[in-house]
Chains A and B, each alone.
Chain A
Amino acid sequence: MTGPLLRTPLADWHSAHRGRMVDFAGWSMPVQYGSIVEEHHAARRAAALFDVSHMGRLRLDGPGAEALLDRLLTRKVVGMGPGKIRYSLVCNEQGGILDDVLVYHLQEHGGGLYYLLVVNASNREKIVAWIQSQMRPNDDVQLVDQTVSTAMIAVQGPAALRSVEPIVGADVGGLGYYTGLETTICGHAGIASRTGYTGEDGCELIVPATAAVEVWEKILAHGQEAGAAAAGLGARDTLRLEAAMPLYGHELTETIDPIAAGLDFAVNLPGRDFLGRDAIMAAKDRPDRPVRVGLVLHGRRAAREHYPVLCDSKVVGEVTSGTFSPTLEKPIAMAYVPPQCAPEGTELAVDIRGTIEPALVVKLPFYRRPS
């Protein structure tokens, strides 16, 4: 990245509250305010607030938006009712993953229907260019990048909904998982959705950039008694890793197909024609394709990204993400390995800076919230 870092509408708040700011995909973002472990536990036990304004928010309007998205996304968009949100992948012709996204189908207050794509910060420009390159002259679609004009706040944890309910016009608790709607948030027009990236219940709010600090502080105030706390990208990473959610640039890249990534659920093949479909069909039949697995290690040394994974003393793959799990209090990692090394219970090993440590293949996710 060149040039000055982009700043979210909450960047000054983060700096004023001991946020340790780092460059993340060209944005100045807080990695932590204090202890990553405490911020992690806030999400698991109470509520954690994350500034996710760096994520790209792309609005698509027009009669051709549905068909265009249905051609671009691995997930079926045609027939998605208003208020529905789906996790999907954007693939190239070779089936390689360009990004993983959420597609929202929303009804404008007193108006028509439109779509919103929430994309990774690191892929925003690529996806905008990709959508534009795939538009046909007669498509009649308007694409507006709302990333800078809005802010996005994720509130996650058992006390998350309680913390936002007083400021949201709609009944957030009544929203189904993976649904959302336009509503008022602290009196401002915004979007509330029952989504997240931590493995906890919670919601994400999109508000005008100018309202971000007010909304953030109100949620903190309403959640204070329950133990709500601001959390940075460090905790966001340990939380999503425990929940085995893939992260673009780690588990997902342009050389990984959705089947290898274990994201079959995000691919709707029957009766559809989308970019990458043929390649994904072919990948399904490849017996030797690598498999994304979860690894648990003993001791306290974490297996980190790029560390070699061994099977019978032979390198068979590498770690894509790894950390010391604050919830399980042991090292966890995800890796791609050949299918014969992937069954649960297989004893693999990781080369941790020259020391070969045993690693057990376990069922994903590592953590599932108590229901």
Chain B
Amino acid sequence: MTPKDLLYAETHEWVRIAEEGGRKVATVGISDFAIQQLTDLVHMVLPKVGTQLKAGQEFGEVESVKAVSSLYSPVTGEIVAVNSDLPNKLESLGSDPYVGGWMIKVAISDESSLAKLMDAAAYERQCAAEG
């Protein structure tokens, strides 16, 4: 279930690292586990292109019937793309969290932020512990 080619943050965001135009770009979303835990999504707020983010900084929020949860950037850099259509089709997130469910792309300016991220096996252990 948890894609092996992605990195994961403790706060349940996933990261796909790719070279784009000579720079490292991180595509960010939230994991299937996180979506299962949230359930009943009703609203999402995403930031604007050009926003500067530090690793661990809040970049948006996702709201369910029960509660509001913050979205945190797993990396440091500048937002170069936003999946601005996603908030209009939240129901698709559950079935497609890792491809269509991407939220932002961040041009990484400080690669040291990647060191804190987990691989899929470590992230699965965290999810199992959280139940």
A residues contacting B by CB (< 8 A) are: 31-32, 34-37, 234, 238, 299-302, 304, 323-324, 326, 353
Contacts and interface: CB of A to CB of B under 8 A. Distances in A.
B81 interface: no
Name the residue among B39, B65, B67 with the largest chain A CB count within 10 angstroms: B65
A302 B61 CA distance: 13
Given A36-B65, A302-B63, 15 more contacts: A32-B66, A36-B66, A37-B65, A234-B65, A300-B42, A300-B43, A300-B63, A301-B63, A302-B42, A304-B68, A323-B65, A324-B43, A324-B65, A326-B40, A353-B68
Contact of B65 (A34, A299, A301, A326): A326
Contacts of A324: 42-43, 63, 65
Contacts of A323: 65-66
A341 to B, nearest CB: 25
Given A304-B68, A353-B68, A36 B40 contact: yes
Q: Which interface class (under 10, 10 to 19, 20 to 34, 35 or more) fits B?
A: 10 to 19
A326 B61 CA distance: 20
A57 to B, nearest CB: 28
A300 B40 CA distance: 12
9 contacts: A35-B40, A36-B39, A300-B43, A300-B63, A301-B43, A302-B42, A304-B68, A326-B65, A353-B61
Contacts of A32: 39, 66
A302 to B, nearest CB: 7
3 tightest Cβ-Cβ pairs between the two chains A and B = A300-B43, A324-B42, A37-B40
Contacts of A300: 42-43, 63
Interface of B: 39-40, 42-43, 61, 63-68
Contacts, number: 37
Main secondary structure on B side of the interface with A = strand
A243 B5 CA distance: 48
Contacts of B61: 353
B113 to A, nearest CB: 26
A34 B64 CA distance: 13
Contacts of A34: 39
Contacts of A234: 65-66
Nearest to B45: A301
A299 B44 CA distance: 11
Nearest to A234: B66
A326 B40 CA distance: 10
Nearest to A300: B43
A304 B61 CA distance: 15
B17 to A, nearest CB: 31
A299 B45 CA distance: 12
A368 to B, nearest CB: 21
A36 B65 CA distance: 8
Nearest to A39: B40
Contacts of B68: 302, 304, 353
Contacts of A326: 40, 65
A236 to B, nearest CB: 12
B65 to A, nearest CB: 5
B39 A35 contact: yes
Contacts of B42: 300, 302, 324
A313 B61 CA distance: 25
Contacts of B65: 36-37, 234, 238, 323-324, 326
A298 B39 CA distance: 22
A327 to B, nearest CB: 11
A142 to B, nearest CB: 41
A36 B63 CA distance: 13
B77 to A, nearest CB: 25
A331 to B, nearest CB: 9
Nearest to A329: B42
Contacts of B66: 31-32, 36, 234, 323
Nearest to A330: B42
Nearest to B131: A20
A34 B67 CA distance: 15
A36 B43 CA distance: 15
Contacts of A36: 39-40, 64-66
A28 to B, nearest CB: 13
B40 to A, nearest CB: 5
Contacts of B63: 300-302, 324
A301 B61 CA distance: 11
A323 B42 CA distance: 10
